[in-house]
Amino acid sequence: MAHFNKQDMLVGQLYSHHGLNEIYGHLIVAAILFLVSVVCAALLYRLFQKTQIEWPALLYAFIYTGLIGLGEFAEHFFTDTFLNTVLHYTHLLAAPGAMVFFYLAIREYHYKCSYPDEELNTVSNEASMGVFVTIITITVLLGGVAGTPWDETLEGPVLIVILLPMIALSALLIRAAGKIDKSNLTVYFPVFGAVLSGLTLTIWIGRFADVHQIAMLYIAAHSLQNVFHAGMATLILLFTRMIRREIRDDTLFKCRVNELSKHWEKKLEPKRRFNLDEQ
């Protein structure tokens, strides 16, 4: 049976695959998530420019998802407390950042479904700067107060603070997806929310198991993190492929809003243009 020894090392694990350490799988899937997210964001940016499509929040959501993988990968190569902590909390805080932009993305999608010929009314660009500055500020502050790499006195409370709004945002993504009919894309948004929330939850469970020396739970939590990283990368690839196909078929914004979205109509309705003929 696996357990922690007095040196806080996992011992007694099942020996297989020539003793291959799980950490390498962890690093690989984190790197894959980063690369997939950034490459897909770049591909869609170029495609949107060519086709004159506006959907900035989706690009920001992919970039912040990529930061999850980057921070998860890079933190393991730095033993300096400040650098390790900054990278560690970059990937933790990037998750709610990505969730915010996935929510704004589905709002933008709803807007274009409602008013396909109107210029997009969005706050994504302003929000991107606010989220970026917030993440940098918090990570630097935490890096300054952390006593050790992966300081357990900080991580547990921070994870709880992060997890609660992410669960709320997941519920909002489910609700927002229900306001749009005749679209295959809306199915992805609640799944994005569920995967990101599940990833944060398993990180918290892993930290709980580490603090309380529950070896098997610790192993299971880290294995699930790998699943969520790989799953998110796969979802982004499939989502990007579907967007490319719908742009090719000219069906990207041929969706329809339903009666559940009536209260959004007033908020999203484009501003009325001044017309001299009406005076």
Q: What Rg do the C-alpha atoms of the chain give, in angstroms?
A: 21
Burial zone of 22 (CB within 10 Å; 0-12 exposed, 13-18 middle, 19+ buried): middle
Of 21, 16, 33, the residue nearest 225 (C-alpha): 33
Are 90 and 78 in contact, with CB atoms under 8 Å apart?
no
Q: What is the mean pLDDT of residues 92-108?
A: 94
What pLDDT band is residue 261 in, cutting at 50, 70 and 90? low
How far is Cα 54 from Cα 58, in angstroms, rounded to an integer?
10
pLDDT in tens, 8-21: 787 777 665 556 67
With a cut of 80, say whether residue 258 has pLDDT above it.
Answer: no
pLDDT in tens, 200-238: 999 999 889 888 889 899 989 999 999 999 999 999 999
Secondary structure element (H or E) that encloses residue 122, with its range: none
Q: What is the mean pLDDT of residues 9-36?
A: 82
Compute φ and ψ for 257, nearest 5 degrees. -85, 150
**Residues 6+ away with beta carbon under 8 Å from 44:** 55, 58, 59, 62, 240, 243
**Residues 6+ away with beta carbon under 8 Å from 38:** 62, 63, 66
**Regarding predicted confidence, which is higher, 86 or 7?**
86
Q: What is the mean pLDDT of residues 31-46?
A: 97
Q: How many helices (H) and strands (E) does the chain have?
A: 8, 4
Of 205, 206, 201, 177, the residue nearest 189 (C-alpha): 177
Q: What is the mean pLDDT of residues 95-105?
A: 95
Burial zone of 259 (CB within 10 Å; 0-12 exposed, 13-18 middle, 19+ buried): exposed
> What mean pLDDT, rounded, does the chain reach?
86
Cα–chain center distance at 14: 33
How far is Cα 72 from Cα 81, in angstroms, rounded to an integer?
15
pLDDT above 90 covers what percent of the chain? Answer: 55
Give me the pLDDT at residue 264, please. Answer: 52
pLDDT in tens, 179-205: 888 788 999 999 999 999 999 999 999
Give me the pLDDT at residue 141, please. Answer: 94
